[in-house]
Amino acid sequence: MSTCNDRRDFMTKAALAGGALAGAAGIPEPAHAASKQTPTVELLKVGVVALGDNSHMNYSIWAPTINPEEPEIWPIRSTRMKITHCWDRDPALATAFASKYKCEAVKHYYDMVDKVDGMIFAGFNECKWWPQLTKPYLEAGIPCYINRPFAYSMKDARFMVETARKHNTPILCTDEREYIKEAHVGRWKVGELLKEGKKILGVNSDNSAGYEYPQHGVHGLYFMLAILGLDVAEVSLQADGWWREKTPTSPHPMTWGTLNLHYNGIEIEGAGKQTKPFVATQQQLSGYGANAGMRIYHTNGWWDIMNHWTRGEKLNRLYYLFFPTIYAIQRMFETREMQWSYDYILQKTRIFLTGFKSHLDHSGAMLRVNDLPEDWEAPSPYPDWIDERIFG
Amino acid sequence: MPDDYQHDPHDIVSSHNRHRRMFLKTSALAGALALNNGLAASPEASERSGNSKLRIGALCVGDFSFWSYSWGDILSPRGVAVNREALGTGLLDMEITHVWDVDKAKAREFADKVGAEPVDRYDGMVGKVDGVAFGGFYEVPWQHILARPYIEAGIPTYLSRPFAYSLRDIEDILDCAAKHGTPIMATDIYEHLYGVTTLKKRIRTIGEIQCVHSTCLTHEYAALFHTPYMLQAIFGHDVGKVAVVTDDPNSSTYLMGTYLFNGDPEQKPFLCTSTMTPDGDLYSMDVTGSEGIESSRLPQFAEWRDDLLVHHTPMLVAMQKTFEGTMYEPLDNIRKKNEIFLTGFYSAVERSGAPVDVGTVPPDWRAVPARPDWIDPALLKRQ
């Protein structure tokens, strides 16, 4: 913090000194300072749902980067979005959030329809109820960011996608490790390897998963999928648990685990195609020295990439790790274009659920992605998080 | 962490007995083991002349054998290449004097190159040699039968990896060695690489181990998936679970193994993965700790001579010491290595790659041989 304060002090003093110097020397003020006019681009009004535990709207992660009401964490307006309304299952929490970020708490989860340009469903604990919570907005055509892991069954996933498709509503389900530059560079590198005629032989990866599969373990899954694509034949989650603590649905806290993806091959349009299968394995860790990393072994050696922890000011972590996702959300709200198609979201969810089923029902054996039953449902670690009476 | 190697041979029986209680519950050989635990050399073991090298019997020298691949080139006394190029000098104190192979023509061919005498039967060297080494892979499913005459005769014996295709078979060998006090050695070539001792030393500075990734230049699980043995040489044999994902353990288009090491009070359990990378380095290994990362790799060799000296000779040095009477490691280590191999095989073919608890593979469950008809059972009748 001292570094942060020192830097702000320096910048403040420097600005004052500069202004004094300019005035004293009779140097004309810059045009923007003289006009005093603020650009009048209309901000996008955003509603947010789920503000408490395990939500990106908590812990000063996403909220201050959209509504810059915590200057010590995020000093400037950086997006075209403004959170105008919020809802949480806990009204007191919603009120506190509204007070902190200068927005309005609504009474019912559906009260933001017609009031906002986009919705951010930011929680994790509420994922089990995303189909109900998102429905009014999907039907109203309001673009929705729906937090990972999107759904606990293909039936739920399909319900949301079909509702969105029917009403021409753009949706986004992603996470920050799908948008960090290492994911983009990794994808580019795979394309280069294919162009050069090299084959991928195997992939090792690490993900700082906090010993949770559905919440932070999914970061690693999305990271691998972003780089290697979706042509996954089989999945296994080999672990001694799937959640970091014991809950009504999680009998054994997770202390170790690997996520294994058996790829049929890989194809990138314009780059090339590999039909040789390979396995990508990812250790799901806690306290690992990086957010995510990957080593790709190919027919001419290997290639590494890693997203290290962002140390120093919190701003660094928010900017380099989380902010690209915020931009992706805004881009969808603004353009109504989906970067990842409905089918991509469905397949991504299917792969996630297949891993879950491998762990729960098959002791970590490899399961075919295409064999996942539509109505198979993964557990939420907090199955009573939402009082379902709110849905009437 | 594993104990240091090179154990007192007199420890082998007590250690073996101590660690095999669980298996003995189902073993019919339990009674037999108690009969004779002495380590005195069998009268059938021949006396070595003070002026000659150790007389070594080479068994299984034909297809897919270390004898015809590298050991012959290292031990070739006259500089005649067995495979590619002999070292051209007597490097070790071992001389190949007798040879047997299931294919008599290949036995003769090998024997001619190294100036040795082929024998007609697999047990035809008893009383003629100071040690025997099984170099082949395809014969391993029958190795417990092939090795028995020599172990019973007190002749130090090297067993080819993966040592046995069932727990029953490995116990049969170990029981026999314990009963007759015969030094046996059963190692994988990668256990002897300098990377093992180097990593063991260097990882002391990286804090608590978080995870390990390794790769191995191979196309299959049973013969050339060396890194799991290397992992055990570095981290010990206290493996709780094994998972092997592959389409075919004997001819893989993809292969990945996961090994859960149980840890200890100062080390949480951690996972090691091994991935097949058929065109890459011989191996690579990255150990990530809480305070740093240590890596090791062995690129493919540019020169055959370097391959022989760096890659293959260290195991022969250990083999020679075994033939001189020094046990390389306790019998229980051999049992554990074989059990971990079999657990992985069991995971692959019986559990679709799911992790399997070490200690739960049925004693009579057999791994699938790469060449199930390699040996005619009629050849195995003892005279």
Are residues A289 and B353, on separate chains, in Cβ contact within 8 Å?
no
Tokens representing A183?
A: 């994911």
CA gap A233, B254 in Å, rounded: 12
Asked if A260 reaches chain B (Cβ–Cβ under 8 Å), the answer is yes
Sequence-ordered list of residues with C-beta below 8 angstroms from that of B238, at least 6 positions apart, any chain: B261, B262, B263, B264
CA gap B365, B357 in Å, rounded: 15
Sequence-ordered list of residues with C-beta below 8 angstroms from that of A321, at least 6 positions apart, any chain: A176, A180, A291, A307, A310
pLDDT (tens digit, 9 = 90+) per residue, A99-118? 999 999 999 999 999 999 99
Q: Which residues in chain A have their CB less than 8 angstroms from residue B280's CB?
A: 201, 297, 301-302
Q: Which helix (H) or strand (E) holds B11?
A: none
Q: Give the pLDDT band of residue A300 (cuts 50, 70, 90).
A: confident
* % of chain A beyond a pLDDT of 90: 84
In a domain, A136, yes or no: no
In a domain, A205, yes or no: yes
Asked if B210 reaches chain A (Cβ–Cβ under 8 Å), the answer is yes
CA gap A146, A169 in Å, rounded: 12
pLDDT (tens digit, 9 = 90+) per residue, B226-261? 999 999 999 999 999 999 999 999 999 999 999 999
Q: Which residues in chain A have their CB less than 8 angstroms from residue B211's CB?
A: 206, 283, 285, 288
Tokens representing B99?
A: 């040879």
Q: What is the mean pLDDT of residues B138-148?
A: 98
Tokens representing A29?
A: 């003020």
Among A193, A203, A204, A302, pick the best mutation site for testing chain B contact (most B Cβ within 10 A): A204
Would you say B213 and B259 are in contact if contact means Cβ atoms under 8 Å apart?
A: no
Q: Which residues in chain B have their CB less than 8 angstroms from residue A300's CB?
A: 279
* Residue whose token pair is 């709200």: A333
Q: What backbone phi and psi angles, to 5 degrees, belong to B271?
A: -105, 140
Q: What is the CATH number of the domain that holds A299?
A: 3.30.360.10
Are residues B288 and A365, on separate chains, in Cβ contact within 8 Å?
no
Q: Give the pLDDT band of residue A24 (cuts 50, 70, 90).
A: very low
Strands (DSSP E) along chain B, which ranges?
Answer: 54-59, 94-100, 117-118, 131-134, 157-159, 184-186, 209-216, 239-246, 255-261, 270-276, 283-289, 292-298, 356-357
pLDDT (tens digit, 9 = 90+) per residue, A175-184? 999 999 999 9
Tokens representing A155?
A: 């039936």
DSSP state of B92: S
Asked if A362 reaches chain B (Cβ–Cβ under 8 Å), the answer is yes
Q: What is the mean pLDDT of residues A320-325?
A: 94
Q: Which residue has the higher pLDDT, A92 or A31?
A: A92
In a domain, A52, yes or no: no
Are residues B268 and A287, on separate chains, in Cβ contact within 8 Å?
no
pLDDT (tens digit, 9 = 90+) per residue, B28-68? 333 333 323 333 344 444 455 566 899 999 999 999 999 99
Q: Which residues in chain A have their CB less than 8 angstroms from residue B351's CB?
A: 363, 365
User: What's the complex ipTM?
Assistant: 0.85
Residue B184 has pLDDT above 70, yes or no: yes
Are residues B353 and A366, on separate chains, in Cβ contact within 8 Å?
yes
CA gap A151, A126 in Å, rounded: 10
pLDDT (tens digit, 9 = 90+) per residue, A138-186? 999 999 999 999 999 999 999 999 999 999 999 999 999 999 999 999 9
Q: Which residue of B has its CA nearest to A286?
A: B210
What single string gives the DSSP state of each residue in A124-162?
STTGGGHHHHHHHHHHTT--EEE-TT--SBHHHHHHHHH
| B256-259: Cβ within 8 A, 24+ apart | B256/A202, B256/A260, B256/A279, B256/A281, B257/B221, B257/B225, B257/B228, B257/B344, B258/A238, B258/A258, B258/A260, B258/A281, B258/B355, B259/B228, B259/B231, B259/B340
Q: Is B39 exposed, middle or buried (0-12, 13-18, 19+ CB in 10 A)?
A: buried
Residue B15 has pLDDT above 80, yes or no: no
Sequence-ordered list of residues with C-beta below 8 angstroms from that of B231, at least 6 positions apart, any chain: B212, B214, B259, B261, B272, B274, B285
CA gap B134, B149 in Å, rounded: 13
Helix axes B331-350, B167-180, angle to 10 degrees: 170
Are residues B275 and A281, on separate chains, in Cβ contact within 8 Å?
yes
Q: Which residue of A has its CA nearest to B293?
A: A289
* % of chain B beyond a pLDDT of 70: 86
Question: Residue ranges of the alpha helices (H) in chain A?
Answer: 2-25, 31-35, 63-66, 91-101, 130-139, 154-166, 181-195, 218-228, 314-317, 323-335, 342-362
Asked if A287 reaches chain B (Cβ–Cβ under 8 Å), the answer is yes
Identify the pLDDT of residue B358: 98
Q: Which residues in chain B have their CB less than 8 angstroms from residue A365's CB?
A: 351-354
Are residues B253 and A277, on separate chains, in Cβ contact within 8 Å?
yes
pLDDT (tens digit, 9 = 90+) per residue, B299-340? 999 999 999 999 999 999 999 999 999 999 999 999 999 999
Identify the pLDDT of residue A33: 53
Number of Cβ within 10 Å of residue B35's Cβ equals 8
Would you say B342 and B365 are in contact if contact means Cβ atoms under 8 Å apart?
A: yes
SS3 letters across B174-219 = HHHHHHHCCCEEECCHHHHCHHHHHHHHHHHHCCCEEEEEEEECCC
> What single-letter amino acid sits at B302?
A
Number of domains comprising chain A: 1
Identify the pLDDT of residue B255: 96
In a domain, A43, yes or no: no
State yes or no: cis peptide before A149, omega within 30 of 0: yes
Among A99, A263, A286, A160, which residue's Cα sits nearest to residue A211? A286
Residue A131 has pLDDT above 90, yes or no: yes
Number of Cβ within 10 Å of residue A79's Cβ equals 18
In a domain, A276, yes or no: yes
* % of chain A beyond a pLDDT of 70: 90
Among B5, B56, B41, B34, which residue's Cα sits nearest to residue B182? B41
In a domain, A35, yes or no: no
* Residue whose token pair is 């100036």: B115
Q: Is B326 exposed, middle or buried (0-12, 13-18, 19+ CB in 10 A)?
A: middle
- Strand pairing class (A200-208; A290-298): antiparallel
Domain of A306? 177-311+342-371
Tokens representing B166?
A: 């069932």
Tokens representing B167?
A: 């727990």
Are residues A277 and B275, on separate chains, in Cβ contact within 8 Å?
no
Q: What is the mean pLDDT of residues B121-141?
A: 98
Chain B, 101 to 140: residues with Cβ < 8 Å from chain A are: none
Asked if A344 reaches chain B (Cβ–Cβ under 8 Å), the answer is no
Q: Which residues in chain B have their CB less than 8 angstroms from residue A201's CB?
A: 275-280
- The full set of domains in chain B, from first to last, is 9-189+310-329 (3.40.50.720)
CA A130 to chain centre: 15
Asked if B349 reaches chain A (Cβ–Cβ under 8 Å), the answer is no
- Strand pairing class (A44-49; A81-87): parallel
Asked if B186 reaches chain A (Cβ–Cβ under 8 Å), the answer is no
